[in-house]
Amino acid sequence: MNQLPQNRTHESQQGKACVIGAGPNGLAAAIALAQSGFEVRVFEAEPQPGGAARTLDLTLPGFHHDFGSAVHPMAAGSPFFQTLPLADHGLEWIHSPAPLAHPLDDGTAVMLERSFDDAQAALGEDGAAWRSMMEPLASHWNNFTEDILRPPLSIPRHPMLLAKFAQDALASARFVARRHFRNERARALFAGLAAHSFLSLDAAASASFGLVLGAAAHAVGWPIPRGGSQSITNALCRYLETLGGVVHTSSPIETFEQLPPCELTLCDLTPRQLISIAGEKLSPGYRNRLQRYRYGPGVFKVDYALSNPIPWTAPECLRAATVHVGGSMDEIAASEAAVVHGKVADRPFLIVVQPTLFDPTRAPEGKHIAWAYCHVPNGWNEDCLNAIEDQIERFAPGFRDSVLARRVFTPAGLEGMDANLVGGDISGGAMDLRQLVFRPTGLLYQTSASDLYLCSSSTPPGGGVHGMCGYNAAQVALRRMK
């Protein structure tokens, strides 16, 4: 069972707290502090809260696109978000019939089905191996996430489950795929999951991302929020308001002198922004450590307004909100390796999302939206549009004919819309084994200033819309105050 504290309304006031940044982590931190009795004010630079979890009209009027995150297994399965009454504040999850589709060049698609019986049948000779790998984690999802999303070096509450995870999690994705699966179809499916890590598929711990996302598909699904990702943000803001918290939008904080007096300040910022804002409040040694923090690869993203659904050759792709476009495991591995070496493959691995197949409220009647992105080196400034569309056309001939409008985001364009997306990095920093555990420094959420904390995806457990970076940071701050 989930061991996080259950919802609490106002306790006796403990003081005032400020949070910089109204992304999911900043809002999670604000809620945790407000539940503990703090008077909380959140300051957001953009006119709309949410950070990367925003929904905007990016192409044509009436086409409502997700600026960043769109499909949310980790939000639906978040140990903290599950304790909050977000459904009472407008959040509704929509599950596509299958969480994920992965088309292949033979005109078929490998489907990741939600039920283990269906998944085992779909994967044929590798179905039993898939089930053996994923079912122990999925069937104990709350216990599993309680351990993997906690601060590192915490004493595991479920050591046997964590040991089962570690058997494959610390290895490379390519090694694990070859070890467990005989068929290239299952290997390709696992490779696409692991590629969410932004790591080479030959890198240590790249398999961990495939395991977590695969288990999530069975445990909680890969749902989309009705109305777009803004619905998650709006529900968090509305719940925070019931606790007395206030979110100030269009309120950039450039120096700490702009903040009102408060006992605690939590920052949903990456190290680069913290250095800029905090200045002399941080010790020279700590600033030097932050300056050595490494940002990871970026993304090149395209939002589409479409006249019709994407015309996939494999019709089963229309059963899934998320489609991985990348062919075989070896092709996906080559794409991710190219990024690590500062290049982009001719056939880049894509993540494609097609929400209006299941939520028609997000486009005019009969029309659709989609977005696609590929991984690129941090700060990449070359055009990837043709490579992206060639890849989609490869598995959906005639796709370009359905495009009514498109909005292209380079890494610089993404950072211009959200300063935390440094160089297009949507994970808050490189997610390799060393920096995944100790991020951004060995102090984790703490800084050299006793009243200042980091709560962004640049802290453990890293990227993803789960709010656990904010929740963990708030708990550390509260313990230190006591």
| Structure-block tokens of residue 185 | 């179809």
Residue 74, amino acid: M
In angstroms, how far is CA 156 from the centroid of its own chain?
A: 24
- pLDDT tens for 113-146 read 999 999 999 999 999 999 999 999 999 999 999 9
Residue with tokens 């990348």: 326
pLDDT of residue 13: 65
From the CB of residue 40, how many other CB atoms can be counted at a distance below 10 Å? 28
**DSSP string of 206-273, one letter each residue:** HHHHHHHHHHHHHHT---EETT-THHHHHHHHHHHHHTT-EEE-S---SSGGGSPP-SEEEE---HHH
Q: Measuring CA to CA, how many Å separate 402 from each of 64, 307, 451?
A: 17, 5, 53
Beta strands in 344-430 (DSSP E): 350-353, 368-376, 403-409
State how far the Cα of 95 lies from the Cα of 225, in Å rounded to an integer: 9
State how far the Cα of 165 lies from the Cα of 120, in Å rounded to an integer: 20
3-state secondary structure of 275: helix
What is the four-CA torsion angle of 388, 390, 391, 395, rounded to 10 degrees?
140
| Structure-block tokens of residue 300 | 């090149």
State how far the Cα of 326 lies from the Cα of 112, in Å rounded to an integer: 15
Q: What is the mean pLDDT of each run of 10 residues along the chain (482 residues)?
A: 44 81 98 97 97 97 97 97 98 98 98 98 97 97 95 87 94 97 98 97 96 98 98 98 98 94 96 93 95 97 98 98 98 98 97 98 98 98 98 98 98 97 97 88 95 97 96 96 82
pLDDT of residue 482: 79
Domains and CATH numbers, the chain: 15-45+251-295+428-481 (3.50.50.60), 115-220 (no CATH)
In 3D space, the residue among 312, 311, 313, 321 whose CA is nearest the CA of residue 114 turns out to be: 321
In 3D space, the residue among 237, 187, 193 whose CA is nearest the CA of residue 215 turns out to be: 193
Burial of 416 (0-12, 13-18, 19+ CB in 10 A): exposed
- pLDDT tens for 203-220 read 999 999 999 999 999 999
Is the sign of the CA dihedral 298, 153, 472, 13 positive or negative? negative
| Structure-block tokens of residue 290 | 């932050």
> 306 with 402: CB under 8 angstroms?
yes
**DSSP string of 9-48, one letter each residue:** ---S--EEEEEE--SHHHHHHHHHHHHTTEEEEEE-SSSS
State how far the Cα of 80 lies from the Cα of 92, in Å rounded to an integer: 17
pLDDT of residue 282: 95
- What pTM was computed for the model? 0.95
> 197 with 206: CB under 8 angstroms?
yes
pLDDT of residue 395: 98
- Return phi, psi of residue 441, to 5°: -140, 180
Instruction: Give every CB contact of residue 223 below 8 A, 6+ residues apart in sequence.
Output: 71, 72, 73, 76, 93, 94, 95, 96, 321
> 384 with 376: CB under 8 angstroms?
yes
State how far the Cα of 194 lies from the Cα of 456, in Å rounded to an integer: 22
What are 301's strand-pairing partners?
373, 409
State how far the Cα of 393 lies from the Cα of 407, in Å rounded to an integer: 18
> 19 with 41: CB under 8 angstroms?
yes
